[in-house]
Structure 1
Amino acid sequence: MAFDIARKLLRGVIEQLAENDPLTGADNRPHTDPVMSAIPHFLSAVDAFCLARGISEARASTLILNGGSRIGAIRSGASDIGTRRLAEAMQWLSDHWPENAAWPTDVTRPAISAPDEAAA
């Protein structure tokens, strides 16, 4: 009986250590990086934008990120994009989306900016 109690206590300690750093108490459970999961959505929106506008990915990259190779580098994993820049890029796409094109259904669309904000 004492062995069973000790085993249960030890199991609880091990489970807690797996979830929290023993020194800092930080959560160690696996999580999804919101930026990393947002990049495929961004690329999906870029693909739909290029198709709707009849432009190349390099042209879209120039328009959205001021660099013709940026989106290709992000797509290949050779480059990354920060949270703020990703949000700005998604906002740009939303503000400049062709009226006759459907926004990708699996991607959350940012609200369109006021006309004076979209011109920036």
Structure 2
Amino acid sequence: METELARHLLTLCDTFANARELGEATVGRHCAADGRFFPRIRDGKTFTAKKYDEVVAWFCLHWPEGVEWPDKVPRPPIFVTEAAE
């Protein structure tokens, strides 16, 4: 399960970074208050479920307009409802 969640975080980071033309470290500083957050995940380091939820929520709140949310990454239900309104 952790491998799948790590993949979700990296997909969100890559998609967001490309859309905003930002580096991975900048995205990490914004969403996780840690510029090494995503490189550590790529290196196989762990993260908590709480941190996963916080980072995904940050992406939901700051997702670029006009950019599709990645299909393989579940969006938390609270944000799916808000996005549909």
List gaps (5 residues or longer) in structure 2. 81-85
List gaps (5 residues or longer) in structure 1. 1-33, 114-120
Paired residue for 1:86, among 40, 52, 67?
Answer: 52
Number of aligned residue pairs: give it: 79
In the TM superposition, what is the alpha-carbon distance from 1:55 to its structure 2 partner? 0.3
State whether residues 35 and 83 of structure 1, in contact with CA within 8 Å, keep that contact through their aligned partners in structure 2: no
Q: 2:71 — aligned with what?
A: 105
Paired residue for 1:61, among 28, 39, 46?
Answer: 28
RMSD: 1.5
In the TM superposition, what is the alpha-carbon distance from 1:35 to its structure 2 partner? 3.1
The normalised TM-score by structure 1 is: 0.61
Q: 1:3-33, CA deviations, whole angstroms, 9 ceiling, x for partnerless residues? A: xxxxxxxxxxxxxxxxxxxxxxxxxxxxxxx
Q: 1:5 — aligned with what?
A: none
State whether residues 35 and 82 of structure 1, in contact with CA within 8 Å, keep that contact through their aligned partners in structure 2: no
In the TM superposition, what is the alpha-carbon distance from 1:112 to its structure 2 partner? 2.7
Structure with greater helix percent: 2
Q: Which amino acid aligns with 2:39?
A: G
- Higher-Rg structure is 1
User: Which structure has the higher relative contact order (CA within 8 Å, separation 6+)?
Assistant: 2
